[in-house]
Amino acid sequence: MSYQVFARKYRPKTFDDVLGQDHVVRTLRNAIEQKRLAHAYLFVGPRGTGKTTTARILAKALNCPGGPMADFDPENDLCIEIAEGRSLDVLEIDGASNNSVDDIRSIRETVNFAPARGQFKIYYIDEVHMLTNQAFNALLKTLEEPPEHVKFIFATTEPHKILATILSRCQRFDLRPIPAEIIAQHMLHIAGKEGITLEESAAWAIAKGADGGMRDAQSMLDQLVAFCGDTILEANVLDIFGFTSRETIASLVTSLLSRDTPAALGLVQREAEAGRELSQLLNELIGCLRALLIAGLDASTGAEGIPEETWKSLTEAASGYTPDRMLAVIDVFAETEGRMRWATNKRLHLELGLIKAIQTLGEVRISDVIKVLAGAADQFPSSSGDLPSPTPAAAKPQEPASSQPAPSKPKPAATPAPPKAADPQKEAPDIDALIDAAPDVAEQPAAPIKAESPKPEPEPEAAKEPEDDFYQDPLIQKALTMFQATLK
């Protein structure tokens, strides 16, 4: 028997074999068990996530002996014919090469024919978005009211290119990128079946490079077996596919968080000279920073494949930065990623992004100053009523009026001394008390007129206290210390 690649050899045969798409599998199983079958299904998702595989499993469940049945025997003759693509009742059509009105017209002519062996005649159109608008319009009437024995299954990676009139006639299932942990475990499972020694770190490297596609991961494992033989190490994965190790990403993040610019630039230089893909390095860096940001908000999140000791040191280094600062750094690298996508000199833009990100971590913002000042103010009473209010000289309590004669040397009432300007930070004089005291002054006998007018009494020393107290305020002193300012 000829050699079969892992992607075909280990293709799921039943609903239980489908990995990472539990929401789709559960819905389809319930629909079959409850006899709530739609006439058209649309599977949407990135490459290698199981669109064609799920469509074939659904076709097996519909046409298996005694079906429709969710738990069928994959070794049955009908199921084997469907899996191998040679069933007369399950027609697989490539939308890229059969996208004309004539191709759709042939489908309309054959839908009325009864199935040969199964219960349903199933039309599976892959990459359905490649059909022309005229072909879509020709399919509308048949898709809306097909015969009872006809089912349509569509698959696409670009649902936005499909007419809305088609989308409204289908039940849509969005297949998600498969998590890296599931891919890594499945790679270890395949290696065990094949008698291959695969390091766990190598399996994680394959899963990271596959970017959510199981088929890509299986193809990479096939290539690694051809290159390495029965033993596959992480270094082999990094060398063949140009991936970046988790230790390298951790070192780069550590240099970034410690604001060690020479170390970060030196690491980028080594990776570039080793032939690593710098765009992939940047994606890994953004992913690690995102994981640290999420871990700072929710400590229960996982390390996403990073070793426990390395992850602990990274979280400790990131704990000194607030979430908004980490968000700013991620924004810097997101802009860098957009520039690198079309740039010929990717290393230059990555180095500029690293320098800008390190500057972002070290810059002082106005929000930081406000937070520090607010923290200093919190150490003192917040309301003005809690602060002691000194009594200015002008607001001293007046002596009660008495019936005794006036002193021999009364104060002149006609020319009072001009009051000193009051500090706005201090309490204002008691105006009512001054008004109440005014009649008592008027009733005093007039003093004899002298040649010289009496000199005004000198101001007490306490009158200068308001200006000094302003600069002795603890909050002002804290601001002067923070900004290293001096008073002149």
SS (H, E, C) 297-311: HCCCCCCCCCCHHHH
More confident residue, 299 or 99: 99
Helix axes 246-257, 346-362, angle to 10 degrees: 40
Domains of the chain: total: 4
Per-residue pLDDT tens digits for 173-232: 999 999 989 999 999 999 999 999 999 989 998 998 888 899 999 999 999 999 998 899
What residue numbers bound the domain in which 279 lies?
246-363
Which DSSP category does 118 fall into?
S
Give me the mean pLDDT over the 236-253 stretch. Answer: 87
Of the residues 135, 152, 174, which one is the last residue of a structural domain?
A: 174
More confident residue, 487 or 135: 135
Instruction: Tell me, yes or no, whether 188 and 170 share the same domain.
Output: no
| Strand, coil or helix: 101 | helix
Residue 387 reports pLDDT greater than 50: no
Q: How confident is the model at residue 296 (pLDDT cuts 50, 70, 90)?
A: confident
Which pLDDT belongs to residue 96? 86
Among 75, 52, 196, which residue's Cα sits nearest to residue 125? 52
Instruction: Tell me, yes or no, whether 167 and 33 share the same domain.
Output: yes
- Mean residue pLDDT of the chain comes to 80
Which pLDDT belongs to residue 450? 47
Task: Give the alpha-carbon dihedral of 473, 474, 475, 478, to 10 degrees.
Answer: 130
- Asked if residue 112 is part of any domain, the answer here is yes
- Asked if residue 224 is part of any domain, the answer here is yes
- Asked if residue 152 is part of any domain, the answer here is yes
- Asked if residue 386 is part of any domain, the answer here is no
Identify the CATH number of the domain in which residue 22 sits: 3.40.50.300
DSSP per residue, 128-188: GGGS-HHHHHHHHHHHHS--TTEEEEEEES-GGGS-HHHHTTSEEEEPPPPPHHHHHHHHH
467: Cβ–Cβ under 8 A, 6 or more apart, which residues?
423
Residue 411 reports pLDDT greater than 60: no
Which pLDDT belongs to residue 121? 93
Instruction: Tell me, yes or no, whether 262 and 281 share the same domain.
Output: yes
Instruction: Tell me, yes or no, whether 20 and 85 share the same domain.
Output: yes
- Asked if residue 231 is part of any domain, the answer here is yes
Per-residue pLDDT tens digits for 34-45: 999 999 999 999
Identify the CATH number of the domain in which residue 221 sits: 1.10.8.60
Per-residue pLDDT tens digits for 262-279: 999 999 999 888 888 888
Give me the mean pLDDT over the 254-268 stretch. Answer: 92
More confident residue, 75 or 485: 75
339: Cβ–Cβ under 8 A, 6 or more apart, which residues?
349
Enter the pTM of the model.
0.67
Instruction: Tell me, yes or no, whether 126 and 41 share the same domain.
Output: yes
- Asked if residue 209 is part of any domain, the answer here is yes
Instruction: Tell me, yes or no, whether 185 and 253 share the same domain.
Output: no
- Asked if residue 290 is part of any domain, the answer here is yes
What is the rounded distance in angstroms from the CA atom of residue 16 to the CA atom of residue 71? 9
Among 293, 207, 281, 276, which residue's Cα sits nearest to residue 250? 281
